[in-house]
Amino acid sequence: MIAVTGGAGFIGSAIINALNKKGIEDILVVDHLGSSLKWKNLPGLRFADYLEKDDFIAQARNNTLGQLDAIIHMGACSSTTQVDATYLIKNNFQYTKDLAIYAAKRGIRFIYASSAATYGDGSKGFVDDESNLEELHPLNMYGYSKQMFDLWAKRMGFLSSIAGLKFFNVFGPNEYHKADMRSFVIKGYEQVRSLGKLSIFKSYHPDYMDGRQKRDFLYIKDAVEAVLFFLDNRNISGIYNIGTGSAHTWLDLANAIFSALGVRPVIDFIDMPDYLKDKYQYFTEADMTKLKRAGYDKNPTPLEYAVKEYVQDYLIKEAHL
């Protein structure tokens, strides 16, 4: 059985969908549904069982979990604006530590989500070199909670047997429940449909004109392909970037949304909230050399095609994977 934490969430549910397409249904979904709408990601999926995240970790700590072949740990607080450091430590760091220890003692394949937020302002580059982990300085507590586990895993020697995936800016279907943490694509789509225009933050960096800030935007289907690569290749471990290797501007992304809707672009540049100004990443671009060297040979979906598919096949139809 494969356990997928965050299995009702964005990336987790997309992973289960991909496993189902490979004929795999012996899956344990782990999540915290609460009163959120992420339960809507589950009805189209096939899985053996469901556990709330607190029950799952309690069983792991008490050694009462059933037999598992792999744990794909996507469950975490992904809010980059979360300021409750104690919550992030318990939810993103301690929880992941306990699962990693449980998996290590039993020879269970452990794949976990790190984040490109660990790279901070990018002044140290975006190379997934484990020898340089200590030099990275995340800009927010979310990024630091992910960095803490990366560093702990390195100190413990776990990176020789587990796989940590530094996801860049992932977008695509099944993110509907993520409120403010939804991608620019879905937010922009909603703005264009309701207002006929969309808004982009102004730049406060002299090296970037308004709208020319750049990010590595990754389609969810490409992110999932990379996760399954590590599931299929259990001998490949360590920390790896999961991106496209090619940064695009916010204007590129905005124009792709307008193109998918067949609408003339109308863009407003708006002030960035003060609380974001010193935490904003103006440029991210995954160095994909290490992953390719490991044998991953799939090319990412071109940005305009990915946005078109997301908008026309999912957003307009309000469809899930």
Taking the whole predicted model, whether its pTM rises above 0.85 is answered as yes
- Label residue 278 by pLDDT band (50, 70, 90): confident
Whether 144 is catalytic: no
What mean pLDDT do residues 140-159 have?
Answer: 97
Is pLDDT at 125 greater than 90 in this prediction?
yes
Residue 138 tokens read as: 């995340």
Residues 98 and 60 sit within 8 Å (Cβ to Cβ): yes
Residues 110 and 99 sit within 8 Å (Cβ to Cβ): yes
**Which residues, including other chains, have CB under 8 Å from residue 283's CB and lie 6 or more apart?**
122, 208, 213, 214, 215, 247
- What share of the chain has pLDDT > 90, as a percent? 95
Q: Can you tell me whether residue 307 is helix, strand or coil?
A: helix
Query: Which segment of 76-80, 101-105, 211-215 scores lowest on mean pLDDT?
Result: 76-80
Q: Alpha-carbon distance 173 to 320, whole Å? A: 6
What mean pLDDT do residues 129-145 have?
Answer: 95
Is pLDDT at 70 greater than 90 in this prediction?
yes
Is pLDDT at 81 greater than 90 in this prediction?
no
Q: Alpha-carbon distance 100 to 103, whole Å? A: 5
Q: What are the structural domains of the chain? A: 2-170+216-245+285-301 (3.40.50.720), 175-214+247-283+308-315 (3.90.25)
Among candidate residues 102, 119, 142, 144, the one labeled active-site is 142
| Of 289, 302, 178, residue with least CA distance to 248 | 302
Better-predicted residue by pLDDT, 225 or 80:
225
Residues 68 and 49 sit within 8 Å (Cβ to Cβ): no
Is pLDDT at 225 greater than 90 in this prediction?
yes
| Of 150, 163, 117, residue with least CA distance to 284 | 117
Q: Can you tell me whether residue 246 is helix, strand or coil?
A: coil
Supply the pLDDT for residue 83.
Answer: 84
- What share of the chain has pLDDT > 70, as a percent? 100
Residues 221 and 301 sit within 8 Å (Cβ to Cβ): yes
- Label residue 11 by pLDDT band (50, 70, 90): very high
Q: Taking CA 149 as the corner, what is the angle to CA 147 and CA 150, rounded to the nearest 5 degrees?
A: 65
Among candidate residues 178, 202, 290, 308, the one labeled active-site is 178
Is pLDDT at 78 greater than 90 in this prediction?
no
Q: Alpha-carbon distance 224 to 229, whole Å? A: 9
Whether 40 is catalytic: no
Compute how many other C-beta atoms are within 10 angstroms of the C-beta atom of residue 152: 15
- CA 95 to chain CA centroid, Å, is 17
The CA-based diameter of the chain, rounded to the nearest angstrom, is 58
Strands 27-31 and 49-52: parallel
Helix, strand, coil in percent for the chain, rounding step 5: 45, 15, 40
